[in-house]
Structure 1
């Protein structure tokens, strides 16, 4: 090769290697405008200051409930500022999380609306969900005491006309994106991928017990038999009151949970009579039991209508999915106790506060 060509190629190679590589910016220009153009500044603060009704719709809870929630979790969420950047305050972290849970948006949507990185948004949501669960589960999902069990039973007798009922139990499939290398473990009988949510609800549409994270392939009965609730029932460590007479009778009957046909019959779990040719008394019993059982079904409806992230497949890893569902259950009880019902959250919940006299209908069928 001509020495001149060698020289030219050598110079070109040297210049190529010396060329500065294009570096990524430390903070993207979109995220750099968080303090001036992010939704925390442009939307959350104006709604808080001027329109409590729209704030409720935006945050899924009242201003007073939001402030109380913030006071509970502020300390574990507080981080120190660094020389590189200031920390995101706990108030903004909660706003980001509640928007994710309440609107059903994606983490990428949070990136554009709140001007934070997508990975940062994911870290914030998971941290807040874990903190809410750990901080508030003792208050919002306490272990039922003997007195609490009697109060639950009184509520079902008053509102559902079903005595000695400790709660309505049912399972729900929470849709997820198929986890990698999981085979058919998370595929349920409806042929989509999910994790299991087992819950017990009282007559006020609040959750008394939740168990989250089982494989989607497991049935409701399997969820119940594998739960800590069943273990406590079997071991006698659950605070179940002693058998008490039914109204108008002197025969002592055990207190029990009520479930649908998917659950197995036991001393402390009642299910409907099976078959189509049943007696009038059995039909009345089935109708009474169905009336009591609808409270957990309505609770699931209220849960998913308020926290709309549960309306779509969760596109995060399974452990993150479990954190999300647990947090939604805590927030369901928290908002239910402080703010009551919001009409928009119950529009599609069939059977909620139905005033029909089920006993008359059942007997006259």
Structure 2
């Protein structure tokens, strides 16, 4: 019921009618499941902790993309939402639909390690990154010499590329990011043989 509620954007009363329950009961079920999922996500989604866990992750990611010291793959995506009643214009993204801009980091096994899902669709990936807890952890040096590998696109051309984010100073970045970031350069366009397309 909870997943149907989130996926459909429906009203709780519609689900109550569908399942033969009261709206209050549906609300309580949704809140309990949400709380359980949130608690589990705090425990299960995490960047590698400790030297051994980081070493295993780096080895696996090196096997996929041949980059040393990578502890995660990061990207942003837009999740469509119904138009919110407050500040609606903030949620309209560059493709002209309402969304949340979600930043996700996964490991070589395609398991989420970190996420940030509080930014409206009009925000740039750089803003999401600069305001994320993960960025602050990199700035504090919690990950030593480790990096994040970025999968993204060039923008309007849509050519997918692998990019390498390096913690060089106060943040990570690319040419389009604000002045607080240093550098990011394209590494290689993906091809049909790239690990992304497999």
Common topology (TM > 0.5) = yes
Q: How far does the alpha carbon of each residue in 1:286-306 deviate from its partner, in whole angstroms, 9 at most, with x for none? A: 1479946x4xxxxxxxxxxxx
Question: Alpha-carbon deviation of 1:231?
Answer: 0.9
136, 141, 152: which is aligned to 1:231? 136
Q: How far does the alpha carbon of each residue in 1:188-238 deviate from its partner, in whole angstroms, 9 at most, with x for none? A: 1111111221110111111110111112111111111110111111122x2
Matches of 1:167 and 1:230, distance apart in 2: 13
Aligned to 2:167: 267
Q: How far does the alpha carbon of each residue in 1:69-89 deviate from its partner, in whole angstroms, 9 at most, with x for none? A: xxxxxxxxxxxxxxxxxxxxx
Aligned to 1:219: 124
- Judging changes above 3 Å, is the alpha-carbon distance between structure 1 residues 270 and 219 closer, same or farther for their aligned structure 2 residues? closer
Q: Which has the larger radius of gyration?
A: 1
Secondary structure of 2:91's match?
Answer: coil
Matched, 1:286 2:188: yes
- Judging changes above 3 Å, is the alpha-carbon distance between structure 1 residues 152 and 270 closer, same or farther for their aligned structure 2 residues? farther
Matched, 1:258 2:149: yes
Cα RMSD for the two superposed structures: 3.3
200, 206, 222: which is aligned to 2:111? 206
Matches of 2:127 and 2:194, distance apart in 1: 24
Aligned residues of 1:221 and 1:264 also touching (Cα < 8 A): no
Aligned residues of 1:186 and 1:195 also touching (Cα < 8 A): yes
134, 137, 140: which is aligned to 2:41? 137
Matches of 1:220 and 1:137, distance apart in 2: 22
Matches of 1:165 and 1:288, distance apart in 2: 18
Return 5+ residue gaps in structure 1 as ranges.
1-95, 243-254, 272-281, 295-350, 355-365
- Judging changes above 3 Å, is the alpha-carbon distance between structure 1 residues 288 and 177 closer, same or farther for their aligned structure 2 residues? closer
Aligned residues of 1:160 and 1:288 also touching (Cα < 8 A): no
- Judging changes above 3 Å, is the alpha-carbon distance between structure 1 residues 165 and 143 closer, same or farther for their aligned structure 2 residues? closer
The answer to which structure has the higher strand fraction is: 2
Aligned residues of 1:169 and 1:198 also touching (Cα < 8 A): yes
Q: TM-score, normalised by structure 1?
A: 0.41
Aligned residues of 1:168 and 1:201 also touching (Cα < 8 A): yes
Instruction: List, as ranges, runs of 4+ consecutive aligned residues in structure 1 with deviation greater than 6 Å.
Output: none
Secondary structure of 1:184's match?
Answer: helix
Question: Alpha-carbon deviation of 1:143?
Answer: 4.9
- Judging changes above 3 Å, is the alpha-carbon distance between structure 1 residues 264 and 205 closer, same or farther for their aligned structure 2 residues? closer
156, 159, 171: which is aligned to 2:61? 156
Matches of 1:211 and 1:186, distance apart in 2: 16
Aligned to 2:96: 191
Return 5+ residue gaps in structure 2 as ranges.
156-162, 175-184
Aligned to 2:182: none
Q: TM-score, normalised by structure 2?
A: 0.72
Count of residues in Structure 1 that have an aligned counterpart in Structure 2: 174
- Judging changes above 3 Å, is the alpha-carbon distance between structure 1 residues 265 and 195 closer, same or farther for their aligned structure 2 residues? same
